[in-house]
Amino acid sequence: MNLKRVVVTGLGAITPIGNNVNEYWNALLNGVSGAAPITRFDASKFKTQFACEVKNYKTEDYFERKEGRKIDLYAQFGHVASDEAIKDAGFDMEKLDRNRVGVIWGSGIGGLITFQEECFEFAKGDGTPRFNPFFIPKMISDIAGGLISIKYGFHGPNYSTVSACATSTNALIDAFNLIRLGKCNVIISGGSEAACCEAGIGGFNAMHALSTRNDSPATASRPFDKERDGFVLGEGGGCIILEEYEHAIARGAKIYAEMVGGGMSADAHHITSTHPEGLGAKLVMRSVLEDAYMQPTDIDYINVHGTSTPVGDPSEIKGIQDVFGDHAFKLNISSTKSMTGHLLGGAGAIEAIAAILAVKNDIVPPTINHFTDDPEFDPRLNFTFHKAQKRTVNAALSNTFGFGGHNASVIFKKYIA
């Protein structure tokens, strides 16, 4: 069977360091930290009192008041990112065959804020069950994709992926496979998350997963630093328009990059911890290279999962060194979570955007907040500490690993007609 080529024709993002793609990319290149004290609720009694919240966001700037009240924040972020990407792709909606356009959107948690608010309201009452009629449709994790398809009248495949922090990478892989199999012409794909609330912070604190560096939030996310003490919770969303190559050429679309592979694996090890020897990481990177018909030496940059946890960071690097061998020392490696925090189900999408733009612009965003070398990591590895680095990036790989041992990786390469 002849597989179709798949290209990237539109990007959209709303992140803790920029509310559109240009703002996000420029902030990445300039090493801007999105971490700051929490503003959404009083966090003074929590072990962690900071997060990477989206800045200067007002629902009323994007939605009519009545409409905005029916949509959870995670789905609002999905709307904002997808609107930008669809506009960026430049579709002629009158000519677009919307029966051949799908939406695959992921959220690891869904409407956690809505769920929390409804439970709080019920607990304050007299026990009589009074719930908002929009409680369920606001909360469920598939509704963001449903709302995108409803807004634009896209009648192709429409569903949600859920694989914790690998969620939106899995969404991209599904979209990629459907297009190259000829099932769709275009898929709006990505993910969004909004878990910066009492339940989110409290839950991750209970797991000892979050950094508690309350005295220095901006430097708390420290991937590969010896003093790293956990991840920083982030929020927002990213959208990538994937399109069948001939369809894109026929309408004169601009093309950012070509998506050439998607890989998946399972650690089958622990409910939250990655395999200490990087077993799942090795498997998923070998899988994506095989799917892309590429060799390890073809990769120039890896946007790593790199959450800033004591266990997770070393296991991923062990996987990279095993798969890439001596070529690992020729790679640029960076964790953009050092700036954005961890967007959970939305992480894969915004990190794929970073990989795509690195390929397009031949520059690698940095890993910030490095203060103390960790002897566990080989000093010959280039973690792109402190500053962005210019280099030819013909191909970039992006890793995401989720609770439950879910691993997903994607590869983007320079577009050549």
Edge-to-edge strand order for the sheet containing 257-266? 158-161, 101-106, 186-193, 236-244, 6-14, 257-266, 406-413, 395-402, 301-303, 332-334
Residues 40 and 375 sit within 8 Å (Cβ to Cβ): no
Per-residue confidence (pLDDT) for residue 272, from 0 to 100 = 86
Residues 338 and 231 sit within 8 Å (Cβ to Cβ): no
Q: Which of 79, 247, 342, 370 is catalytic?
A: 342
The model carries a pTM of 0.98
Q: Which of 165, 184, 197, 239 is catalytic?
A: 165
Q: Which of 79, 247, 275, 305 is catalytic?
A: 305
Which of helix, strand or coil describes residue 139? helix
Contacts of 33 (CB under 8 A, 6+ apart): 17, 217, 218, 219, 221, 338, 339, 368, 369
Distance CA 181, CA 280 (A): 27
Chain centre to alpha carbon of residue 301: 17
| Spans in the chain with pLDDT lower than 50 | none
Among the residues of 125-190, which ranges form H helices?
135-139, 143-152, 167-180
Tell me if residue 155 is catalytic: no
Distance CA 126, CA 136 (A): 21
Per-residue confidence (pLDDT) for residue 51, from 0 to 100 = 98
Tens-place pLDDT, residues 69-83? 999 999 999 999 999
Which of helix, strand or coil describes residue 382? strand
Per-residue confidence (pLDDT) for residue 417, from 0 to 100 = 86
Per-residue confidence (pLDDT) for residue 125, from 0 to 100 = 85
Per-residue confidence (pLDDT) for residue 161, from 0 to 100 = 98
Domains of the chain from N-terminus onward: 7-250 (3.40.47.10), 263-413 (3.40.47.10)
Q: What is the dihedral of CA 114, 120, 121, 126, to 10 degrees?
A: 150
Per-residue confidence (pLDDT) for residue 126, from 0 to 100 = 84
Per-residue confidence (pLDDT) for residue 201, from 0 to 100 = 98
Tell me if residue 270 is catalytic: no
Tell me if residue 342 is catalytic: yes
